Every structure is written in C-alpha cells, then in structure tokens.
Chain A
Amino acid sequence: MVLFLGTLGMLVLTISLVIFIILHQRRVIRFQNKLQQMEQEQQKILLNASIKLQEEERQRLAADLHDDAGPLLATARLYLNENLVNQDKATQLQAIFQARQIIDDTIQLVRNISHSLMPPTLKNFGLESAVNDLFQKISGSGTINASSRFHEYRDRLKGEKELIVFRIVQELINNILKHSSASFIHLTQNVHADKFYLRIHHDGRGIVQSDFDKLNKSNVGLGLKNISSRLRVVQGQINFEKDISQTYYKVTIELPKDDPYQ
C-alpha cells in the first residue's frame, strides 16, 4: 500500500511539475509576444515623431530661406539693376552701399540658420562651452536665472555624441522655458563609475518619470519622443524626478562614458 501510494504520489508530483513548466512557459511566451508588440508600437511612434520633427525642421529652414533670405536678395538685386550705370555717381554709391548692407544682412541670416543647424561653439570648443553659452544667453534675457557647471569634462565626448546631448539639453531647456514658469535653471555635469551625468534642476512645474513614460507612449509630446530616440542612439537614459525636498524638479541624463582608447 505504502509502495503504491508513494509511487502514485511521486508520479503525480513529477507530471504536475512538467505540466506546470509547460503552462508557465506558455504564459511567458504570451507575455513576451505582447511586450514585443508594444515595443514595436513604441518604435513606430518614435520613428513617426522623428520623421515629423525632420519635416518641421525642413519647413522651418525653407520658411527662413524663402521669407527672409529671398526678399533680402531680391531687394539687393533691385538696387543693382541695369539702370544704375545711367545714374549719377552719388546715387550709384548710395545704391551700392544699400545693396552691400542688404548682402551683409543676408550673410548674417544664413549664418544664423547655419548656426541653428550646428552651433559653431559646440563644434569648435565642445559641449561645455556650448552649454555655458546657451545658459548665458538665457540668463542675459533677464527673465530667468540660468547657470551651468561642468565638474569633470577634461575628456570630451565624441563629436556626434556631444551634438546629441546638446540637442537634448536644448529640448529640455525649451520645455522648461515654455511650460514650467521656473525662476531658475541650473545644470551640473559629473562623471561617476564610467558614466557621464548631466542634471538639470529647476523650480517650476515639471514632470516625473511616470508622466514622461505616459507622454512617450501617447501621440502628444513630440519633443520628449525626440529625446527618447536621441538617447537610444547614444545608449543613454533619462530620469525625471522631484527633489527630496519636493521643491525642485530634476532631470538626469546618463550616458556611457567614451572609451579614450577607441
């Protein structure tokens, strides 16, 4: 009897174990498929956001060139028409002076457009200078107190990485200026255990990580989606949280530090 019950019990136990494993794995597979589907949808949203952003940027460029550079050059052309040779010397000089002034303005305009595409400070002097420059300009407006401090930036990040980080910072600052009504923004940079950190503090209205995740999955919040896709390229992470004192909002960007030997 003991033998029979023992054997039966053992059989039931082992077969139950196998059935449990099969059922558990089927559940895991179903969950994985769902997760994969969600991931694909997220990728699609990010891709659409990035395409939309690219299109907006192109439209902005087209508008700048068409509405500003176009009329300026057309005006310069008017000053330098064929009748100019028949005019008296004083008028000729006046027209040339005006045309030159307009061409100078056009050069400045084209330079501004080009700088908005790739800031020269970033290209020539690096992220630290570009961020300091940006913060000085914001502070100079007098409406908000903006400051930045780089603690350990002896080894610069690679060029393309610096540009991506700068664009993310620009986007974040833009959002803070637009939506938060903050009176100060402070940026700090540091390095810890092979990771590069940038942290932005501000005292306005902000968002926390759950809001960021929600906005990232929804159809609104193009700028935030753009931040996510840029971070994905540099294998970085972003964290939105409230300070322990519950007074400030902080955004932390974390990136793997560049290998100096690569």
Chain B
Amino acid sequence: MLIISEIPGLLPRGSKKYYDLTYTFIEYSTFAFVLAYTISRKSITTLIIILSLAFYSFQIIYTFNIEQKRGIDSIPIGIETILVFVYLLMFFYNYLKTNQNQPIYTSYGFWVSFGIIIYLGSTFFFYILANNLEDSDRDRLWPYSYIPDIIKNILFYIAMITFSKNPINNKNTAAKVPFLDMI
C-alpha cells in the first residue's frame, strides 16, 4: 500500500479518480474478505456481501457523477471506514459469543482487527478532512498517514505468525462442537 501511495504523482491528470476508485475498492474488499473469512458465519457473510455490493455501487456512482477536483475520495473512504468498523464490531461480538475459553489475542482475527482498527481509526479524520486542507498542509501531513499504515502492517505480520502457529484453533468453530464430556 505504501508503494501504491506514491503512484498518483506518476498518473495522467484525468485518471486520478479511477486510481482512487481502485485503491479504495481493493482496500475495502481486502478488509471485508478477511473479516468475513475470520467470522465464518453464513448470516454475517451474507450481510457483508450485501453491504459490499451496495458500497461498490455507491463508489461507481460517486466516481462517475461527482466531479472531484482535487484531493482524495473522502466520502467513499468515510463510508468504507464506517462499514469496516461495523464488521469489526460483528467480529468481536461473534468471537466473545462463541469462543469463551481461549484468550482473544491467541486468534489471528484479533491481530487483523487490531491492525485495521488502528489504521482506520488514525486516518479517518485525516482522509475525511483532506479535501478541505490547504495543499501545502496536506502535503506536510500526508507522510504521517504512513505511520498507522506501518503499524497495521506489523500487526498483520503478527496475525500471519499466529495463523501459521495454530490455523485450526483460529476459526470460530466452538458453536458447532457438541458437548461430549459425559461420565
């Protein structure tokens, strides 16, 4: 993502909005897919798919109908953040409901969620207000948005290590396992 962030400067002037569309689309889809996979409940997955389709439709309408003169696509980013926060809350709720014996930080899903929360929480206001800032201010503050990005990547790395250590225990399967401790 850090490398991709440097691409807009190299792009022709009119294609910036398509770059924003693609960037937000990939970012949102990655977060939504990882969270849906981690939660692995049919009803929640269906809800995520429906909300994602609505979000994609909105993104397309926004890109082709609203003239974005400068800056970034703040509104789709804001909606993306809110939607991903909703998925994160669903993940935490579902985890607390189904996995009551294992500490949450032993699950890769927790580290992924923590990374997403830090990243989206830190950059939310900056991306929302980015179009209202002076160009010089925006350019000065932009490098600071890389800090949560780096933290997120570190947390994702921890998630990968956790997943590789115990991939079976990392899924929410407790609700399906019957009680078999009989004497």
Q: Say yes or no: B126 contacts A7, CB within 8 Å.
A: yes
Query: How distant is the Cα of A2 from the Cα of B137 in the complex, in angstroms?
Result: 13
Q: Say yes or no: A22 contacts B118, CB within 8 Å.
A: no
Interface size on A, residues (CB 8 A): 21
* Cβ 8 A contact of B117, one of A7, A17, A43: A17
B158-183 near A? 1/0 per residue, CB < 8 Å? 00000000000000000000000001
The residue in chain B whose Cβ has the minimal distance to the Cβ of A10 is: B121
A6 beta carbon closer than 8 Å to chain B: yes
* Cβ 8 A contact of A21, one of B100, B104, B183: B104
B83-118 near A? 1/0 per residue, CB < 8 Å? 000000000100010001101110000000010011
Total of A-B residue pairs, C-beta within 8 Å = 55
A32 beta carbon closer than 8 Å to chain B: yes
A18 beta carbon closer than 8 Å to chain B: yes
B124 beta carbon closer than 8 Å to chain A: yes
Q: Say yes or no: A3 contacts B129, CB within 8 Å.
A: yes
Q: Which residues of B contact A18 (CB under 8 A)?
A: 114, 117
Query: Contacts A17-B117, A29-B101 known; A10 to B92 CB distance under 8 Å?
Result: no
* Cβ 8 A contact of A22, one of B104, B121, B123: B104
Q: Which residues of B contact A239 (CB under 8 A)?
A: none
Q: Which residues of A contact B183 (CB under 8 A)?
A: 43, 47
A107 beta carbon closer than 8 Å to chain B: no
A1-21 near B? 1/0 per residue, CB < 8 Å? 011001100110111011001
18 A-B Cβ contacts within 8 A? A3-B126, A3-B133, A6-B129, A7-B123, A7-B124, A7-B125, A10-B121, A10-B125, A11-B118, A13-B121, A14-B121, A15-B118, A18-B117, A21-B96, A25-B96, A26-B103, A32-B101, A47-B183
Known interface pairs A6-B129, A25-B104; 7 further A-B residue pairs with C-beta atoms within 8 A, sorted by A's residue number: A3-B125, A3-B141, A7-B122, A10-B122, A11-B122, A18-B114, A18-B117
